[in-house]
Structure 1
């Protein structure tokens, strides 16, 4: 019995017309040879010149065609499934890549936000520390201001008491008030202090003014000719370029008094104002412009007390 899947071929030999043998008709076909082969269909002639045709077994051929067609459909379906799987896998890979990229970006953003949050926390801590320090400084300044106010009150009381004692000295449990305190001269409406120190105790113009301020006064400001004569008379034992500082100084090309006013009578000071120059009063010689850094004596002035 032939194995399944084999194709049975029958060889049919067609002989040329020859003298009909006895006992055979014209329509009669003589089959000289039938063979079974496992070959492809072909046509050929035998050694006697007879045409040999290989005919497929019809039933076996149909079965083979159906099997081939079935396999073809199976291959097509397999290829389709395989292609679909490949597309799905490709889409999955793309999706995974996109998702991974988003995860990476989100991770980086999260790290940046964490870093910024840490920086903000650090800045916040620093601001809190600075705020605490400022609060401590504010408390200290408040305490200092309160202490200074208390000291100022005490100073004012002490100064007032000093002024009372200075202007109204107590004698035999009674006070007698004067227009100028002890050691000051009162020829007119003001009190004058003549500081005629020895040479090594003399001061610059700024130094002399500082001394006057310490006494509750300032360098003398001359208001009229009578006061000018009074100041000249108090410029004791002065001559040449040695005299007494008064409150007149050159500023911005003008002669200015320490109270901010300009020199009203230019005849009192004929020299042109030059920065760095201040004025001294010399007895019987008038006023002279000298360097503010020079060492001179000085005259202070303050208002007299009304009694």
Structure 2
């Protein structure tokens, strides 16, 4: 169908208008920030703190591990030392027990020989040779010359080394026996026996207090520490310095035969 010239002109104008129309443009919009970069930028301080805590924990574990290992090593060494010491003590105990058994046998043999001498066909006596029998006791009077006399403590050690002790007066018979064998009547001569001053009181070596009035001089001498009783004939006893050198009397129970 043939178009008229007017229509063709209008179509050409319309096409030209379309071609020359302004191009549609998009305004430049800032791109949103990278989400990963934003995450790391915000979490960096937290991560640093976590790493710091982790490093502290690891450091503490290493430190306490070293300390614990050192303590375990020291404890192991202590246990080993204690084990060694225990073995040494067991060995010493065995040696002491062996020595004690030998000493016991030797002492028993000595006692048998002392009370029942071989030269008398093992006829046993109530007291050893050199001891005097009085009632149920055996007494030994050490009439030593001045160079060989002893202090009170030395005298007691001598008695104990003989299986006896200094005399303790517990009866009238013992008092008579002690006084009867004593010599001298003053502080220049006499015998040590088992009485001394302790804590302001006169005490026997068995720990009992002096209570018998018949044995105590009247008035009773003051109990001054450092003084001991010395037996003298006709005077019962007098106090003198324990450091003085005197004769002494030992006593032991008599053997029942």
TM bucket (normalised to shorter chain) is 0.7 to 0.9
What is the CA deviation profile of residues 118-138 of structure 1, one whole-angstrom value per residue up to 9, with x for unaligned ones?
Answer: 111111111111111111111
Whether 1:255 and 2:214 are equivalent positions in the alignment is no
- In 1, the alpha carbon distance for the partners of 2:239 and 2:38 equals 103
Per the alignment, residue 288 of structure 1 pairs with 238
Instruction: Flag the structure with more relative contact order, 1 or 2, with Cα contacts below 8 A and sequence separation at least 6.
Output: 2
Q: Which runs of 5+ in 2 are unaligned?
A: 1-16
Which secondary structure does the structure 2 equivalent of 1:300 belong to?
A: strand
Shift of 1:100: 2.5
Structure 1 position 145 matched with structure 2 position 145: no
1:177 aligns with 2:145: no
Is 1:115 paired with 2:93?
A: no
Deviation at 1:95, TM superposition (A): 2.0
Between structures 1 and 2, the one with greater helix share:
2
| 1:230 CA displacement | 1.6
Instruction: Spell out, residue by residue over 1:82-130, the C-alpha distance to the aligned partner (whole angstroms, 9 max, x if none).
Output: xx33x65343123233222212221122112111111111111111111
Contact kept in structure 1, 2:131 and 2:140, CA below 8 Å? yes
TM-score by length of 2: 0.84
1:258-285: CA deviations, max 9, x gaps? Answer: 1222223134222122222211101222
The alignment's C-alpha RMSD in Å is 2.3
Q: After the TM superposition, which parts of structure 1 deviate over 4 Å for at least 4 consecutive aligned residues?
A: 58-62
CA distance in 2, matches of 1:250, 1:119: 59
Deviation (angstroms), 1:237: 4.4
2:244, 2:145 → 1: CA distance? 14
In structure 1, C-alpha distance between the alignment counterparts of 2:47 and 2:188, rounded to whole Å: 98
CA distance in 1, matches of 2:184, 2:143: 9
Matches within 5 A, 1:111-260: 111-171=59-119, 174-237=121-184, 239-260=186-207
Q: Say how many residue pairs are matched.
A: 238
User: Larger radius of gyration, structure 1 or 2?
Assistant: 1
User: Is 1:95 aligned to residue 43 of structure 2?
Assistant: yes
